[in-house]
Structure 1
């Protein structure tokens, strides 16, 4: 994968920036995008690092918002290249930054692979960044990964939802209120990247109870609207698989 289109930076909620690098169809069939989310605050947080091949672009995009060395946390949902592939690169540039992940991820992987020990968050634990507050949510196997988590930013009502609602394409708007369920479901059925866990529906319903106003998706557009309703619709789509 080699991104050939410029990385963009857009504020999708108060103090939360979507950094997106598109990969055109010539490089990946149908096109795709890799998003990171930067929270500007007293203790800045980068959520997702992107894979190694786009490190320079992501670094420069962060620098357009705040000094990269001021990062306090580099967080991610689970262990994959696009989630944390350049974790150590950012820890090198930001000497005070620490990895931010679930307690399980810290135990099984991150404390071994990272330059510095991680802050392993317990399910339901809240971390203050200043004005913004991150509530950590353990979501094992949703959509994949034993150590998978989501993060809810309480000040803006933004759910950092990782690979949920992944949308294909490389020309998605930064923020939309249009339907993203159909395109994300078509992609899910094509790629089958869910873990088929019996707890998938209950995990989604738990996230729905947060009633997020914005969904910070890792691939495709961020979305604004009735997050409770959208997450319930996704749970309903998955219900037959859970009942079988």
Structure 2
């Protein structure tokens, strides 16, 4: 495994671990997004099995003990598997999630009570402000949501634009939709395509300039157009690519 740390926007770092997975030719990346600020925030704790390498990578940017918020999109091992491990080494940290997530999962799973955010609720980290956006069932998970960093025009977009491959640049201005559609063709993980199209249109209205992905390269450029293009592909019947 290889873990890399790259600044993809002002004060926003992508921590990426490449993992060989037999089902995914070329390997796969698990990314965490770290916001360095007065109240540091980590989005996606990553798998519990990757905790040690993720912790070491974070220490290259800031002390792990200083983390204040441990956010995630929806309950899955790669989203929040290492939650309690991080809570144990970051004494002031709290889980950050949707109200649904706190109610049905994290309120019981976490060793510390979560901070539940409502749709559109903002959080001041210091230099940066983040806003929670509810995205239920998009791409999956009743509790799903994403974070919009308005001060950096950056959308922490979770499983949207999931790309296979281990040897990928940390950020690109090239095509990430094509590879993500190829991945989706063999593993359709969208729970509700009609709802997804409505949600993607709402995200496009934010006009992000950086899309920080959880798997694969992040994107720099016209994020609104890319989100609209993703929405258009979801109008096609499943399996048509």
TM-score range, shorter chain: over 0.9
Aligned position for 2:68: 72
Q: Which residue of 2 aligns with 1:192?
A: 188
Cα pair 2:200 2:227 within 8 Å, conserved: yes
Aligned residue pair count = 238
How does the TM-score come out when normalised to structure 2? 0.96
Could you report, residue by residue, the CA deviation over 1:36-88 in whole angstroms, capped at 9, with x for unpaired residues? Answer: 00000000001001101111100000011000000000000000000000000
Output the CA distance in 2 between the equivalents of 1:89 and 1:30: 29
Please give the residue correspondences for 1:75-224 in structure 2 after superposition, counting only pairs within 5 Å.
75-224=71-220
Q: For residues 10 and 171 of structure 1, what CA distance do their matches in structure 2 show? A: 14
Q: Does the 8 A contact of 1:35 with 1:218 survive in 2?
A: yes
Distance, in Å, in 2 between the alignment partners of 1:239 and 1:28 is 26
- Output the CA distance in 2 between the equivalents of 1:25 and 1:96: 35
SS class of match (1:230): helix
Whole-angstrom distance in 1 between the partners of 2:231 and 2:23: 32
SS of 2:235's partner is helix
Question: Tell me, which stretches of 5 or more residues in structure 2 are unaligned?
Answer: none
Q: Does the C-alpha gap of structure 1 residues 181 and 126 become closer, same or farther in structure 2, counting only changes over 3 Å?
A: same
Cα RMSD of the aligned pairs, angstroms, is 1.3
* CA pair 27-166 structure 1, distance change in 2 beyond 3 A: closer
Distance 1:25 1:83 in 2: 17
Would you say 1:36 and 2:32 are equivalent positions? yes
C-alpha displacement at 1:196, in angstroms?
2.7
Residues 94 and 32 (structure 1), Cα distance of their counterparts in 2 relative to 1, 3 Å cut: same
Matching of residue 15 in structure 1 with residue 14 in structure 2: no
> Deviation per CA, 1:188-217, whole angstroms, max 9, x where unpaired?
111111113431111000000000000000
Q: Offset of 1:12 from its aligned partner?
A: 0.2
Pick which of 46-55 and 36-45 moved more: 46-55
Structure 1, unaligned stretches of length 5 or more?
none
Residue pair 1:196, 1:241 contacting (<8 A) in 2 also = no
Deviates more, 1:193-202 or 1:44-53: 193-202
Contact 1:35–1:48 (CA<8 Å) still a contact in 2?
A: yes
Do structure 1's residue 231 and structure 2's residue 227 form an aligned pair? yes
